[in-house]
Structure 1
Amino acid sequence: MRIGVLAVQGAFAEHIAMLQKLDAEPFEIRQKRDLEQPFDGLILPGGESTTMGKLLRELGLLEDLRMRIAQGLPVLGTCAGLILLAEKIANDAHTYFGTLPVTVQRNSYGRQLGSFSKTADIKGIGPFPLVFIRAPSIEAMGVGVEVLAEIDGKAAGVRYGNQIGVAFHPELTGNAAVHQLFLQRIEDSKI
């Protein structure tokens, strides 16, 4: 299974390592020609969403990837990746892909020094260590959005059709269960 990992900025190397651990075939998406090869899914890593969004536009990747996601390409967005997917960003007038019907707020759990980890249940996985680094929160959800994980009474992970968006960093835990859930979702969509 070939998985494209957006590699313009952020924690893409950690996602690649997780996918390799699961015997998937990851490759880096850095420029438009990287989209010429077929792939089964996409990961949007954590990092700086404003920088990623700017680079996606400058590199000509934004509209092509938005179209593929809208047409059903399975995608996992973590932290900044969730912001890229969100239909609305509460504390920003800009949006990026806008394919996931949620409203998020940047840096909702504090700045870099306020980073923390907390164990919570993820639907289909069970207890999992949620690592929050300058994390967004999910403030509102549209019809059909399924909550996968909650922290402090707020959704921290959601699924909507072909899209999984989480406010935390599963790639930093050493636990590949979220990536396995994503790969299983891709397998199930092929049946």
Structure 2
Amino acid sequence: MSNSNMRIGVLALQGAIEEHVSMTKLAFKSLKLEGEVLWVKNLEHLEEIQGLIIPGGESTVMGRLLETSGLLSAIKKFANESKPVLGTCSGMVLLAKEVYDRVVGKTSQPTLKLMDITVERNAFGRQGESFEEDLEIQLLGEKKFKGVFIRSPVVQSLGDNVKPICYLNGRIVAVQQQNILATSFHPELTDDTRLHEFFLKKVTK
């Protein structure tokens, strides 16, 4: 695939869509790649892209919208064809096989079940308990990455084929499983394009 026709999609059902669009455009520029970023709202849009970003938002609402739009099974097929997917915050929740909540226990919300991980949603507390933390992510180099945590999940357990790529106080906050990446935090709410650049490099491969 030539880089000139690279198209990255941002799932545009709900959540931090525009921030991911802007950050992906900046990552294209930083890597000196030609490409465009599309809003993905239906099956036709999914067919036009080579990589998909699932933003943060309300994971229960997004899961239901994925089901009713037919995108749930289509995104599974997309990822199973080894196309790169990045999920942030509730995007991580939507990628997980199992989801727990501190209050209600195991949830029955619809998820993509693409990653062999169990997550606890809202693991760091509610909206008012949001915080930022400098994170070590070896994949992105020595310089620390500013993690923005807003009602963020945490990975409680993972399968053998899932690699933890970032910890916060001993808790797993970013993982990689082959072509799929997921973070608890919001990389799109920083001015650091490195995570989006890493994702674009996966797409160019």
TM-score for both structures, normalised by structure 2: 0.88
1:46 to 41, 49, 56: 56
After TM superposition, the structure 1 = structure 2 runs for residues 79-118 of structure 1, keeping only pairs within 5 Å, are 79-91=89-101, 92-118=107-133
Amino acid at match of 2:59: S
Bigger mean CA offset, 128-137 vs 56-65: 56-65
State the aligned residue count.
Answer: 187
- What residue is the counterpart of 1:31 in the other structure? 42
Bigger mean CA offset, 93-102 vs 77-86: 93-102
Change (3 A) 1:35 1:172: same
Amino acid at match of 1:171: E
* 8 Å CA contact 1:86, 1:95 repeated in 2: no
- What residue is the counterpart of 2:83 in the other structure? 73
1:5 to 4, 10, 25: 10
1:22 to 27, 30, 47: 27
RMSD: 1.1
- What residue is the counterpart of 1:148 in the other structure? 165
- Give ranges in structure 2 of 5+ residues lacking alignment: 1-5, 29-34, 102-106
1:120 shift after superposition: 1.0
Runs of 4+ in 1 over 2 A off after TM superposition: none
Amino acid at match of 1:74: P
Query: Percent of aligned pairs with the same residue?
Result: 39
- Give ranges in structure 1 of 5+ residues lacking alignment: none
2:182 to 162, 165, 168: 165
Query: Distance between the aligned counterparts of 1:165 and 1:175, measured in 2?
Result: 17
Bigger mean CA offset, 177-186 vs 87-96: 87-96
Partner secondary structure for residue 51 of structure 1: helix
Larger Rg: 2
Query: Distance between the aligned counterparts of 1:141 and 1:176, measured in 2?
Result: 27
Amino acid at match of 1:169: H
TM-score for both structures, normalised by structure 1: 0.94
- What residue is the counterpart of 1:63 in the other structure? 73
